[in-house]
Amino acid sequence: MSALLWVLLFVVLSIPVAARIRKTRPNVFYMWPWDGLVRMITRLSTVFDWSLYGDVALTLVVGPLLAYKFIRHRKESLAFFFIYVSFLFLLLPAIGGGTSLIGPSLANLLVVTLLGFGGYALLLVGSSALAIVHGYLSGVRPSPGIAPALPGVSVGGFQIPLVEGIVALIVALFVHEGAHGVVSLRERIPVESGGVITVGLLPIGAYVEPKESVFRRAPVLSRVRVLSAGPVANLLVFALFALLLVASLPLADYLTRYDCSHSMGVRILDVPETLEVGGKYIKSSAHGVLQPGDVIVEINGVEVNCVNQFMDMLLPLQEEEANVSLPLLVLRGGEELNVTVTTNSGYLGIKGVENAYETPLPFWYHALSFLLSLLTWVAFLNFMIGLVNMLPLPPLDGGFIYRDVLGSLGAERLYRAVLWLTVTILVINILPWFV
């Protein structure tokens, strides 16, 4: 039984136990009040000028053009805004971190400067929606553009690992809700309660509840500071863990070399019917020829030991978008098979590979690999949760932020237009799940 199934079994069995403890009817989700969390937030609210952080957060969400009229710490907010976006889109990719997630781009920097990270998030899901529409018009069935960020679910072609995924989600949600609570207290909006959220008895995050009546009557600047604090806290956690990943690059390189020397081939994880390449969908030439679980040991007569060698051999074909017939030697069910796959636009048409081993790797290797994986997923999920929460769509934080900001500027019609645009884009992104 897989680790995910064990977790699901634990959740199912723990639901009636949680219901008995809480003396309620059985539910999937439970909220457990924790006074310690409220006390921690209360202490943190006194150690820093969180109104400055709230101004910085609002500037990052909606961009300096929209935020400038509202914020009071203008010089500091603008300085931090440009430092952060330069770090994210220029410095971080240059020093070797986050290249697969964001990449170096002056265009991205320009979009964020004009529209904030809320606009950048809308641009990302909008680009995904265009790719899906292009796929349907091209006669292929595209993959969904949005997937739930849950352990065991594939996101961006990678499956979120179970333990690292749970830890990363807990970190992201505690940071997010804690930031809301700290800034709320700074803005003189009481926090009524806080605690832990569980599925059954499995902890998945936290909650903080400001006093709703006071929050609704608070000035616009106070409300948007509180709302912006959560998603921007996730972006700051991403920056911290991205730097830790950069610092650990020598360790990652050593583990990769060690891994490659002990691997005997490349195992295929998925062979979809279609593959997304550069915003368009192509048919997989490997579909029906290769199978999930096949281990590639030779390409065109050349031995392939590990994923790095595999990628190095395919990279020239991908750069030239060459359609080449590749003889492959694969292991399937313990037997060697010779097959031939013709690349399409330089791609075999497989999705997800991993190293295959004849003997297990030592414990120290798994421990260090787990540490690097944990750093990676904490960074990735904080970035994605922060961005998603900035989308201009209630009940997400971004929906209420843009409603208050644009409403205060007398641009309610613009807000409604952006709202319906966001709804349309998200519907297109989830359409392949159902069509």
pLDDT of residue 79: 96
Amino acid occupying residue 182:
V
pLDDT of residue 275: 77
Each residue's pLDDT tens digit, 254-306: 998 998 888 888 898 888 888 777 667 778 888 888 888 889 998 888 898 88
Answer whether residue 149 shows pLDDT above 70. Answer: no
pLDDT of residue 200: 84
pLDDT of residue 1: 47
Which of 103-117, 259-273, 308-322, 366-380 has the highest mean predicted lDDT (pLDDT)? 366-380
Residue 167 φ/ψ, nearest 5 degrees: -60, -45
- 269-274 contacts, C-beta under 8 A, 24 or more apart: 269/159, 269/350, 269/351, 269/352, 269/353, 269/354, 270/350, 270/351, 270/352, 271/349, 271/350, 271/351, 272/143, 272/349, 272/351, 273/140, 273/141, 274/135, 274/140, 274/141, 274/142, 274/143
Each residue's pLDDT tens digit, 335-382: 888 988 888 877 888 888 888 888 888 999 999 999 999 999 999 999
Q: For residue 148, name the pLDDT band (cuts at 50, 70, 90).
A: low
What's the burial of 13, exposed, middle or buried (CB within 10 Å: 0-12/13-18/19+)?
Answer: exposed
Report the C-alpha gap between 118 and 399 in whole angstroms: 10
Q: What is the mean pLDDT of the chain?
A: 86
Helices marked H in 48-99 — which ranges? 50-62, 64-67, 74-86, 92-94
202 - beta bridge partners? 199
Which of 275-279, 382-386, 429-433 has the highest mean predicted lDDT (pLDDT)? 382-386
Answer whether residue 102 shows pLDDT above 70. Answer: no
Alpha-carbon torsion angle 308, 309, 311, 316, nearest 10 = 140
Fold of 270-351: Pdz3 Domain (2.30.42)
Could you tell me the residue ranges of all domains in the chain? 3-248+370-433, 270-351
- As a whole-number percent, the residues of the chain with pLDDT over 90 amount to 41
Q: For residue 390, name the pLDDT band (cuts at 50, 70, 90).
A: very high
CB 154 within 8 A of CB 147: yes
Answer whether residue 327 shows pLDDT above 80. Answer: yes
Answer whether residue 101 shows pLDDT above 70. Answer: no
* Least confident residue range of 113-127, 159-173, 210-224, 400-414: 159-173
